[in-house]
Amino acid sequence: MHPVEHLFYFGCVGPSVYIHASPFIMMWNGIHLLISPAASHSGWEDHFQSDQFHYLHHAKFECNYGTSGPPLDKMFGTFREKLGRSLEFNGVADDIREIVTKPNEYLSGSLSLAKAAPTRLDSVVYNSLIYSTFAMFIAKVLGMGFESVDASTAAFLVCYGPVVYGFLVLITFGDNKSFLWPFHKESLFGGLGFHLIVSFLMVVLPVYHFAYSVLAPPGSAPYWQLHQGFDGSPMTGNVTA
């Protein structure tokens, strides 16, 4: 996973804080995010957590983004029930008719730093912008400069920077697909709109609030403000302190 994927993937623990849940709930959510992908990415289908649903995502990519339990993929039109011609899938997929496998350089030990470096200019530009933003945030947390960047601006760059940088790179270098792929056939207030709203509330916004909380003065974090009592004092359990 790319560091940006880690950022938003583990940002899913944020909603546990919004609802003033037990710390156990947040820890359970975090541990589940950490270990649950192992079962669906193991390549084996003979255990009780086998996941053919997610295997189809890796085989076709533009389908089965979620899990087989919640019907989100069916709502978005990205549900695929089999490898062949699907009667459920409403999107557009790039079929790879022949997959040529190569020796695994990670396992053979022949991978070098030169081979691991990006080979495309657009990838170099995007990663340079991302890592520079992360370096700025870490430096600011450690008090090693960037005093002129306030907490909200730094949090905005960490949270929305990866998305904005992606759009800028695509505009600059061009791309043969729509920005909305694979939801480009969905209306804004249909599957696409629902997708954007849920992803913003469950992933993007928690990352912003977490980054802001790290840098903001004590007592001004969004989570603290959310759980204040009616008289402005913090809440303890169900009783206003």
Q: Over the stretch 127-138, which tens digit does the pLDDT of each residue have?
A: 999 999 999 999
Instruction: Output the pLDDT for position 19.
Output: 77
Give SS3 for 240: strand
What the block records as the tokens of 152 is 């909200």
pLDDT in tens, 56-76: 887 777 788 877 666 778 877
Q: Give the whole-number percent of the chain exceeding pLDDT 90.
A: 11
Whether the predicted pLDDT of 84 surpasses 70: yes
CA distance 65 to 35: 18
CA distance 188 to 211: 29
Give the residue, 107 or 4, on which the prediction is more confident.
4
DSSP state at residue 236: E
Closest residue by Cα to residue 211 from 136, 99, 110, 117: 136
Instruction: Output the pLDDT for position 230.
Output: 42
Instruction: Output the pLDDT for position 182.
Output: 67
Range among 23-37, 88-102, 176-190, 213-227 with highest mean pLDDT value: 23-37
pLDDT in tens, 149-161: 888 899 999 999 9
Who contacts 62 (Cβ-Cβ below 8 Å, separation ≥6)? 78, 91, 92, 93, 94, 181, 182
pLDDT in tens, 13-31: 877 777 777 888 888 888 8
The mean pLDDT value for 85-107 works out to 62
